[in-house]
């Protein structure tokens, strides 16, 4: 069973882990958002790729939801002494990841190949594919001006109201990404921020067409539960952009693209409206993933509902 998961942020990473926990008959490919990428201290940082690497390798600091468990911050303190910007906190082990990636890219590897080499070194069985090997950065236009994503998300702590989201660059998806979509038995849009985690992937030319033309069913999992995002600014961002902050609002964004829509049991009352407005089937499942068992159970339930 070939599962291709589009993911970014915490929710998508958790679901990727859930699929990875299933038996060996599931072959997982994760198409990772790169809109959050940034250069820090001269190194390329890919937060969503790194979250997948650390989670699938069992290294993630689960208390803070990012970085490496037990990491130290000696380098960060030295950057501060040297007068370098330190609003983006990078641990010592995390710094090694960024340094390795940057070196591999400088030697001529693509981001796809560099990610594959790092995943193999960490013993990860799933395939992690950057959505593109080219520059494709999320830019947010806010009440406080135009901001790069990490400036908005980390430095400004998501405080400014977002009025528009756009993407810097003229990137195209890799052939590997388009192939993973076209050959999948199941395609899943993870429970990630639909605007700045899934949105950048779907904005790449050809991705939506590949999903529509694929033989596999396409399933979208709502990251909004009871009108609120479980983590991050997705609910506030959707409202400020003129969308309804609900599972129905997410379904409207994906209308015409997906065959099935997964909502949490909390939102069972929205099922009929989603079916009526989008034409997609609705599956009501426990989508809040508090444990590894929750993650695997949700992944299995999605498979059973979509494939049988």
Q: pLDDT confidence of 119, banded at 50, 70, 90?
A: very high
- Model confidence over 31-50: pLDDT tens digits? 999 999 999 999 999 999 99
Residues paired with residue 30 on neighbouring β-strands, in sequence order = 5, 128
Q: What is the mean pLDDT of residues 184-197?
A: 97
110-116's contacts with Cβ under 8 Å and 24+ in sequence apart are 110/174, 111/34, 111/46, 112/174, 112/176, 115/32, 115/46, 115/49, 115/53
22-32: string of b/e by CB count within 10 Å (b at 16+)?
Answer: beeebebbbbb
pLDDT at residue 308 greater than cutoff 80:
no
- Model confidence over 70-116: pLDDT tens digits? 999 999 999 999 999 999 999 999 999 999 999 999 999 999 999 99
pLDDT at residue 23 greater than cutoff 90:
no
Residue-range domains of the chain with CATH: 2-135+169-307 (3.40.50.10680)
Query: Is the entire prediction scored with pTM above 0.75?
Result: yes
Mean pLDDT of the chain: 96
Q: What is the mean pLDDT of residues 168-185?
A: 96
Q: What is the mean pLDDT of residues 172-178?
A: 98
67-102: string of b/e by CB count within 10 Å (b at 16+)?
Answer: bbeebebebbeebeeeeeebebebbebbbebbeebb
């Amino acid at each position: 069973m070939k599962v291709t998961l589009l993911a970014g942020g915490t929710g998508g990473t958790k679901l990727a882990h859930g699929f990875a926990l299933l038996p060996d008959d599931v072959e997982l490919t994760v198409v990772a958002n790169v809109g959050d990428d940034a250069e820090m201290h001269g190194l390329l940082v890919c937060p969503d790729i790194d979250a997948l690497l650390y989670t699938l390798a069992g290294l993630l600091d689960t208390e803070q939801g990012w970085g490496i468990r037990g990491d130290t911050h000696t380098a960060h303190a030295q950057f501060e002494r040297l007068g370098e910007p330190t609003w983006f906190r990078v641990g010592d082990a995390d710094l090694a990841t960024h340094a390795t990636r940057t070196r591999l890219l400088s030697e001529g590897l693509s981001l796809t190949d560099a990610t594959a080499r790092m995943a193999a070194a960490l013993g990860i069985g799933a395939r992690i594919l950057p959505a593109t090997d080219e520059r494709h950065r999320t830019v947010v236009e806010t009440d406080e001006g135009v901001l790069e994503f990490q400036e908005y998300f980390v430095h400004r702590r998501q405080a400014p109201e977002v009025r528009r989201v756009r993407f810097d660059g003229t990137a195209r998806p890799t052939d590997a990404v388009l192939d993973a979509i076209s050959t999948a038995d199941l395609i899943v849009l993870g429970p990630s921020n639909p605007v700045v985690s899934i949105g950048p992937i779907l904005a790449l030319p050809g991705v939506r067409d590949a999903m529509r033309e694929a033989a596999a069913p396409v399933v979208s999992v709502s990251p909004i539960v009871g009108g609120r995002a479980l983590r991050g600014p997705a609910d506030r961002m959707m409202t400020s952009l003129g969308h309804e902050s609900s599972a129905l609002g997410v379904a409207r964004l994906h209308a015409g693209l997906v065959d099935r829509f997964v909502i949490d049991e909390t939102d069972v009352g929205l099922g009929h409206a989603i079916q009526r407005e989008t034409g997609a089937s609705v599956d009501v499942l426990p989508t809040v993933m508090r444990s590894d068992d929750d993650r695997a159970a949700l992944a299995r339930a999605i498979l059973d509902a979509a494939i049988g």
